[in-house]
Amino acid sequence: MWFLSAASAATLVVDQTGHGDALTIEDALALAVDGDTIHIHAGTYVEGGLTLPVDNLTLTGAGPQHTIIDMSSWENASAFELSGNWTLVDIGFVAPLKGGTAVYYFNRDGGDTDVGVIQNCRFEGFNVTIYPTGPFDTLYVLDSVFVDPGYPIMTGFIGPSGPLHVENNVFVDANAIVLEEDYSADTGHFVFWNNTFIRGACGVARPGYRAYSTLEFKGNIAAGSVCGVSVADDRGDTVSHNLGHGLDHPFVYGENIEDAHDNLEADPEFCAWSSEMEWADMNLRLQEGSPAIDLLPTELSPSGSDNEGGSRPIDGDGDGRALSDAGAFEFGPARVCTSLPQDTGFDDTGYAVDTAVIDTQDSAPVDTQDSPRDSPADSLSDLPGDSPSRDSSTPDRPEPEPTCGCAGVGGALILPGLLLLALGRRRASVSSSCRRFAGR
């Protein structure tokens, strides 16, 4: 990992069988020092209100379908209350009661060099899934899936530099991602590239109240939703090369954005999707011939990967040019439609199958079967850049400065100043299962 050198970092193992360093995530956090990695073996962990006592900490799971944090006993709390520099990779989160927050990010000391990373995680339920408030320097949300959340991401009081980078994610039956910032006009740049928004409200909503950031929304798909982007005014935003289908209103709703161009209205031709389909039955890969294939121009097609970790861009239409597709999944010869989505370890209640359940109130070892990760997480030194113009260069990551402390959030959240239409839930019935439609 990129935070500290290998010589100064250790790996702690959470194993419910008693063969690791700790039985619970909470116990492992108590043992950690700056720069450590905590690897959480497969299992369902009934834990919440977890805080990071140190900086530069990485938590990895055995995959979001195997390592599950269950918030059923923590209705109005946060799974993680984070500050400083941190990384969450390959972890699943479920909130059966549809309350609380999965990740609450608060920078108590007000520094501007903090970096948070969420990669290949799975979230189901929650009132506000990810709630960054700050200021903080950067938050990356990559390659993840959000199913039936209230608000998948809601920013609050992001400070002078605070960019947010959201790429290669899938959002199903969600309210809008709500962008609210602090009172300063000198705030960050919000980047949304190559995401897929299915049903629900608008993909992103930025009210006029306390909203000063610029928005870059490129290469996304919004299908069966209210709109793609809802804004109260144009702040030098860019909305381009997106694909909308079956929207209630124009892709950009509310105030016109001057730099909105090359947005296409067409059926994305997913492998398996309809406005009434259960989430577990969806396959949001692209069919051959989809208008989303190779939709982005060269300058928006840097070398990288898609939601499944496959290469991006690929020459999907056979014209000799490798260009990125719109949406979270890149079409390619090896990624064709299958008859049924892959079952990736969730039963019909949303819990991982063939894994033990351990509650922090009872830490006695129990039997479980760990499933090793299919592949290690990509080096986080290859995170996409946050510059307004997308290119293949990756800026040097700042040296993190230690921070301490964090704050919790709970209960209902009141969102003033929002466009009511953007927040109207268009909830379709979805399975309580959070199955991966195409495995890594």
**What domain range includes position 246?**
76-352+418-423
CA angle 70, 306, 355 (to 5 degrees): 25
Binning pLDDT at 50, 70 and 90, where does residue 222 land?
Answer: very high
Q: In this predicted structure, what is the pLDDT of residue 369?
A: 35
DSSP 61: E
Per-residue pLDDT, averaged over 299-322, amounts to 93
pLDDT of the residue at 8: 60
Is pLDDT of 437 > 50?
no
Average of per-residue pLDDT across 211-232: 89
Domain-embedded: residue 265 = yes
- In this structure, how many other beta carbons lie within 10 angstroms of the beta carbon of residue 398? 13
Task: Please tell me the distance from the alpha carbon of residue 56 to that of residue 9, in angstroms, as a whole number.
Answer: 10
pLDDT for res 182: 52
Model confidence band, residue 339 (pLDDT cutoffs 50, 70, 90): very low
The DSSP bridge partners found for residue 101 are 78, 128
Of all residues in the chain, the percent with pLDDT exceeding 70 is 67
Flag whether 329 is in a domain: yes
User: Does the structure show a pLDDT above 90 at 21?
Assistant: yes
Q: How far, in Å, CA of 119 to CA of 89, rounded?
A: 5
Residue 378 clears pLDDT 80, i.e. is over it: no
Mean per-residue pLDDT, 4-28: 85
Residue 181 confidence class, pLDDT cut points 50, 70, 90:
low
Tell me what pLDDT residue 156 has.
Answer: 65
Residue 193 has pLDDT above 90, yes or no: yes
- Read off the pLDDT of each residue in 15-21 and give the average, rounded to a whole number: 95
Range in 244-248, 257-261, 407-411 with the lowest mean pLDDT? 407-411
The arithmetic mean of pLDDT across residues 322-345, rounded, is: 73
What CA–CA distance (Å, rounded) separates 328 from 168? 4
Q: What is the pLDDT of residue 370?
A: 37
Using alpha carbons, select from 234, 239, 229 the residue that is nearest to residue 202.
Answer: 229
pLDDT tier, 384 (very low <50, low <70, confident <90, very high otherwise)? low
Most confident of 172-176, 215-219, 351-355: 215-219
Please, which pLDDT band fits residue 232 given cuts at 50, 70 and 90? confident
Whether residue 108 lies inside any domain: the answer is yes
Contact 350, 433 (CB under 8 A): yes
CA distance 205 to 207: 6
**Is the link from the previous residue into 372 a cis peptide, with omega within 30 of 0?**
no
Residue 241 lies in a domain: yes
Q: Which tokens hold the place of 377?
A: 């997480």
In this prediction, residues 57-77 reach a mean pLDDT of 90
Residue 244 inside a domain? The answer is: yes
Q: Is the confidence at residue 69, as pLDDT, over 80?
A: yes
Judged against a pLDDT cut of 50, whether residue 56 lies above it is answered with: yes
Residue 365 in domain: no
109 pLDDT band, cuts 50/70/90, is low
Mean pLDDT of the residues in the chain: 74
For residue 296, tell me if it sits in a domain: yes
230: Cα separation from own chain's centroid? 20
Print the SS3 string covering 117-145. Answer: EEECCEEEECCEEEEEECCCCEEEEECCE
- Residue 356, pLDDT score: 40
Collapsing DSSP to helix, strand or coil, 285 comes out as: strand
Q: What is the band of 359 on the pLDDT scale with cuts at 50, 70, 90?
A: very low
Instruction: Classify residue 299 by burial, with Cβ atoms within 10 Å: 0-12, 13-18, 19+.
Output: exposed
Q: Is the pLDDT of residue 368 over 80?
A: no
Q: What is the mean pLDDT of residues 421-426?
A: 34
pLDDT at 425 > cutoff 50: no
In a domain, 15, yes or no: no
Total tally of structural domains belonging to the chain? 1
- Give how far Cα 326 sits from Cα of 108, 243, 339, Å: 37, 7, 23
As a whole number of angstroms, the distance between CA 32 and CA 4 comes to 14
Confidence of residue 157 (pLDDT cuts 50, 70, 90): low
Burial 76-104 (b: 16+ CB within 10 A, else e): bbbbbbbbbbbbbbbbbbbbbeebbbbbb
